[in-house]
Amino acid sequence: MQMRALSVGFSLALAFAFMGLPSSGAENDIPRTANGKPDLSGTYDIGSLTPLQRDEKYGESVYTTAAETRKLEEAAIAAQAEDDASRATNRVAPPSIKDEEFKSIGAYNRFWFDRGTTTFAVDGKYRTSILTDPADGRLPPVSELGKELRAGAPLFSYKNTGLAWWMETGEAPYDGPETQTLGTRCLFAGGPSVPMRPSAYNNVKTITQTDTHVSILVEWMHWNRIVRLNSEHLPPEIRSFGGDSIGWWEGDTLVVETTNFRLPPPAPWAQELLAAQDSASQEMRVVERFTPIDGDTLHYEFTVDDPGYTAPYTGSLPFPRTDAKLFEYACHEGNYSMGNMMRGARQLEEEWRAERTSSQQP
């Protein structure tokens, strides 16, 4: 499998990242297995208010002040209180699906989210973003290929105009559950999976380690990553949404490389993107590094080489151990939404037909 060459700037960023690795405690603080390798087994809570991308006001400043960090945390608390208050009133249903209020109802309230309540610090310094490369702490520009793939493979839902627009175009987004997106069907969510990043919820991860394998229970979409140590990747034609992960030790750092991705399939009306998607899937590559800092914390770093962007990008964050329990991501059990989406689509189609019939009458 051919991989894009990493830029000189990217290599320099890696060197910077290693220079900035948090100071390790005494070696005896790191739990080890019988073969002397660090024992990463345990449960970690990576919930954090530190954003993936840096606020543009910080420019290339990697760190911010404790006062600025406190403002961010207080703003998050205030936003939750405001959201709770806005939903506490006795609201009635909008009169029509075409009503503007209907389109802005949004998701369930923030009580159900678990983003964490604090930002993270590295050696006592508060980071402005999880991303460390590019230098501005923001994702690289989306490539032309990335724009095509995003337009043809929506993650969670299709556009909602309050009208049966597909009756005009001949597309079939709501013919059945199988034509829905991966997110809507609760099959896979790439954001919290490879690489792992703080998300809206399910930020608790469980690692189980043996001499030959490492299991990382991500849970979001019931996914358990299995990393084969000192192994080879599967043949390139064997691919999955989460890719194929192999790992090896570099000193006390576990390095995990994931390839053999299968990108989410394009929408039913965008099948012409299959060839481009297949090519992009083969080029994707993610490298993660797990380094124990002490008995309670891992330093986690990831580098993503994705042809959907114009350059690779790198980020890092701490993985603190926790006594919290990892709960099931019960996404589709008792899910009334899928049936309601199908019923809603049929209703819109009936309205569309009625309007056409009415307009054709003399």
Model confidence over 188-207: pLDDT tens digits?
A: 887 788 999 998 888 999 99
Q: Beta partners for 258?
A: 245, 286
pLDDT at 141: 96
Give the global pTM.
Answer: 0.84
Condensed to tens digits (0 to 9), the pLDDT of residues 254-281 reads 999 999 998 877 666 677 778 888 888 8
CB of 296 closer than 8 Å to CB of 283: no
For residue 5, is pLDDT > 60? Answer: no
CA of 173: how far to CAs of 84, 180, 266, in Å?
Answer: 33, 7, 11
CB of 205 closer than 8 Å to CB of 319: yes
pLDDT at 263: 81
The percentage of the chain sitting over the pLDDT mark of 90, rounded to a whole number, equals 48
pLDDT at 101: 56
Of 284, 358, 315, 345, the C-alpha closest to 134 is: 315
Alpha-carbon distance 256 to 215, whole Å?
12
Higher pLDDT, 2 or 190: 190
The pLDDT-based confidence of 182 (bands split at 50, 70, 90) is confident
Of 136, 120, 109, 126, the C-alpha closest to 54 is: 136
The percentage of the chain sitting over the pLDDT mark of 70, rounded to a whole number, equals 82
Alpha-carbon distance 147 to 170, whole Å?
23
Alpha-carbon distance 83 to 213, whole Å?
43
